[in-house]
Chain A
Amino acid sequence: GAGVSQTPSNKVTEKGKYVELRCDPISGHTALYWYRQSLGQGPEFLIYFQGTGAADDSGLPNDRFFAVRPEGSVSTLKIQRTERGDSAVYLCASSDTGYGVSPLHFGNGTRLTVT
């Protein structure tokens, strides 16, 4: 079946612009996660959704970052007033319940470059 889909795969934007990154999880997965991976680093947790609600947004670096999941499926990560330091690969993952071992299935990521 289809895996986690992220669009676009690459996004180049100018400093100060607004961007939206989209994640389409595996059908039926209730849990959805956003991570950010900088060059040479492991993924860093940003936010976790259980259904439509953000159960934990403690990883969002500041109030320029916001994410939604209005119907409990597709999620959008929104970044306002982008800065060069926001350049990274943004990874989305989903899991069937978010509890117990419930393995995370990752998408291929969106590579964001802020110039």
Chain B
Amino acid sequence: GEDVEQSLFLSVREGDSSVINCTYTDSSSTYLYWYKQEPGAGLQLLTYIFSNMDMKQDQRLTVLLNKKDKHLSLRIADTQTGDSAIYFCAENKDSGYALNFGKGTSLLVTP
């Protein structure tokens, strides 16, 4: 099947902004999600955006959605070392309950 695409690695310095990009596959997806996975742990929902929105802000997190290009981004302001993790973009394919995940972007924050 088609893949949700993400860049594999991103390295930023502490205090800078991080931007993680994702291209999804299904224009009928109702919701788009960002999950965070720390080593040895399960996935934690960070934020989500409804498909009829183009931006959502939640504290340090900003999600931008471009439906025409099927492009989703996650911006983390004032990135901290505790933000180092793998970030997964996900769509609910066919507007269903099963999420289709990307391969994840590994974010490394250096002091």
On A, residues with C-beta under 8 Å from B are 4, 31, 33, 40-45, 48, 55-56, 59, 91, 93, 98-99, 101-109
- Given known pairs A40-B103, A101-B48, the reply for A45 and B42 (CB within 8 Å) is no
Task: Tell me whether chain B's interface is mostly helix, strand or loop, or mixed.
Answer: strand
Which of B12-20, B65-73, B77-85, B92-100 sits within the interface? B92-100
B50 engages A42 (CB within 8 Å):
no
Q: B101 at the A/B interface (Cβ < 8 Å)?
A: yes
Least Cβ–Cβ distance between B40 and chain A, in angstroms: 7
Across the two chains, which residue of chain A brings its CB closest to B93?
Answer: A45
Chain A nearest CB from B6 CB (Å) reads 8
Counting chain B residues whose Cβ lies within 8 A of the other chain, the interface size class is 20 to 34
Task: Tell me if B43 counts as interface (CB < 8 A to partner A).
Answer: yes
Report yes or no: B102 in contact with A42, Cβ–Cβ below 8 A. yes
B97 near A99 with CB under 8 A, answer: yes
Cross-chain contact A45 with B100 (CB below 8 angstroms): yes
Cβ–Cβ contact A42 & B31, under 8 A: no
Q: Is residue B88 contacting chain A, with contact meaning CB distance below 8 A?
A: yes
Q: 9 shortest A-B CB distances, which residue pairs?
A: A42-B101, A106-B42, A45-B98, A106-B43, A103-B45, A108-B42, A43-B101, A42-B103, A98-B97
> Which residues of A are found within 8 Å of B4, using beta-carbon distances?
42
Given contacts A103-B48, A108-B40, contact A48 B103 (CB under 8 A): no
